Structure 1
Amino acid sequence: MASDRLLGRKAIVTGAGSGIGAATAARLRADGAQVFTADVQGDVDLVADLTAEGANARLVEQAVAAMGGLDTLVPCAGISAFHPLEGHDDAYFLKVLDVNLVAVFRLVRDAAPWLKAAGNGRIVTIGSTTSSHGDEGLCAYSASKHAVLGFTKSVAAELGPFGVTANCVQPGAIATPMTAPAFTRMPEFRTFWENKAALRRLGQPEDIADVIAFLCSDDARFMSGHGVWVDGGAMVRH
């Protein structure tokens, strides 16, 4: 349910062309925030490859110019695919790290001065259940998401004295354009996650966006440095 709890906030959301990013941008706006969106494609404010050198600095510059400031950061862009360890080429492994980790690091780094100046900055990164566990065929993805969680904890420690909170949302199996090929190609994989979740369903992007909105709000003002599981209870029986 929409509210005005984010009224006055100025947020960047990446990966906002679809999936969790699009749902997050919509929810933050519904709660009163100004939102500047970015993705490699889609109906966003800035179409850009955020793995390119200098791209995140330009994103911050344009967002600040458009909104008159910046105090909230939600880097949602991410990629994933199944690749067995044997035959796993370097190029794909490095690409996953570039998108899921390095681009997040650069965006947080380049936005940090604005978040610190705001005095109540919010950073919400996107991890995964694989931020804490592993699974076959997901060595690149799991490595990147473990790293995002660790990075977020370090950022929370470093920026906390300036009033900035940093938390990592850890989604379970969510029905998005990124996961759709796997769920379509392997219906047994979809069934596995539906049955594994205590709530007996896949998550929807809005399930994640609602938690992100909470973490961006003053309701979460004393939460920082945590991984927040949003998985329908899937991992209680891991």
Structure 2
Amino acid sequence: MTTLESPFRLDGKVALITGGGSGLGLAMARCFVASGAKVLIAGKTEAKLRSAVSELGEGASYHVADITSQGAARDLVSTCVERYGGLDILVNNAGNHVKKPLLETEVGDIQAILDTHVLAAFELSRNAVPVMNARGGGSILFIASMASYLSVPQVIGYTVAKSAVLGLVRGIAAEISLEGIRINGIAPGWIETPMTAKALDNDPERKNKIISRTPMKTMGTPEDIGWAATYLVSDAAAFVNGHVLVVDGGALSGF
């Protein structure tokens, strides 16, 4: 039940965040821990995860996992249950992309991106639902993108995958909402993260072009996404379901 005193708090909640060692995943972990949650971050690089947990403190732990590998989803959910007694919040944040012109992009490139953004996220969600049901409900959050809504040159696989994320949000929400589990997403705009830096290839001209087309004339910070995520998984958003929140400084609004 939502309370007027602390609807944005996550006290007593257990969260699993994939891709939690850096960028948006780490920012969401910071915000969740600051709001009272216990957080398990997952990723493939142990050094990043260890450093992140050292920063996050006692409210967090990590588990090394390739979420596209067989059995990884089941193992991650089981790890949450073993360490913290359950799972209330799942954030499907892990991502990858391949930057190539269309004629150089192969089916394998797109498959690798779909495996991470779509299939692994689906499998994690499917494994999380019974555990959330046992605790009376929960929240699953997907990370979409501006690429879910508009075309981005040379990243066709990423665009396809992020478009599919919108379908996951709607499809899962339509099926399991009566079970007390809310399904939502966030579509970040241009945020200052390592993935953004890689996408821009240290190209200041392109970065300036992006900023000029954003009404707020700046890129966002990872914490902009972290606090938006905190809202969506908290009781403050108790009646928000099947929705993707665009956090982009107005870039998609038209100007």
> Which TM-score bucket, shorter chain as reference?
over 0.9
Distance in 2, matches of 1:103 and 1:122, equals 17
1:25 aligns with 2:25: no
Query: What SS does the corresponding residue of 1:135 show, helix, strand or coil?
Result: coil
Query: What SS does the corresponding residue of 1:202 show, helix, strand or coil?
Result: coil
Query: What SS does the corresponding residue of 2:253 show, helix, strand or coil?
Result: helix
Distance in 2, matches of 1:225 and 1:65, equals 29
The alpha-carbon deviation at position 3 of structure 1 amounts to 9.1
Alignment of 1:210-221 (within 5 A): 210-221=227-238
| Residue of structure 1 equivalent to 2:249 | 232
Distance in 1, matches of 2:8 and 2:247, equals 23
Query: What SS does the corresponding residue of 1:125 show, helix, strand or coil?
Result: strand
Amino acid at match of 1:7: D
The alpha-carbon deviation at position 117 of structure 1 amounts to 2.5
| Mapped contact 1:119–1:163 kept (Cα < 8 A) | yes
| Mapped contact 1:152–1:166 kept (Cα < 8 A) | yes
| Residue of structure 2 equivalent to 1:6 | 10
Distance in 2, matches of 1:162 and 1:25, equals 26
1:38 aligns with 2:42: yes
Tell me the TM-score normalized by structure 2.
0.89
The alpha-carbon deviation at position 81 of structure 1 amounts to 3.4
Query: Greater shift after overlay, 141-150 or 87-96?
Result: 87-96
RMSD (CA atoms): 1.6
Q: Residue 123 and residue 199 in structure 1: after superposition, are their counterparts in 2 closer, same or farther (change >3 A)?
A: same
Q: Residue 232 and residue 85 in structure 1: after superposition, are their counterparts in 2 closer, same or farther (change >3 A)?
A: same
The alpha-carbon deviation at position 4 of structure 1 amounts to 6.9
Deviations 1:193-232 (A, max 9, x none): 2111111111111110110000010000000001110001
Aligned pairs, number: 237
Distance in 2, matches of 1:119 and 1:197, equals 41
Which 5+ residue runs of structure 1 have no aligned equivalent? none
| Mapped contact 2:98–2:109 kept (Cα < 8 A) | no
Deviations 1:119-163 (A, max 9, x none): 231111100011122222121001000101111111111110011
Of residues 218, 223, 227, the one that matches 2:240 is: 223
Distance in 2, matches of 1:169 and 1:235, equals 14
Distance in 1, matches of 2:199 and 2:9, equals 36
Tell me the TM-score normalized by structure 1.
0.95
Deviations 1:87-135 (A, max 9, x none): 2112211111111111101100111101222223111110001112222
1:197 aligns with 2:203: no
| Mapped contact 2:15–2:91 kept (Cα < 8 A) | yes
Amino acid at match of 2:105: H
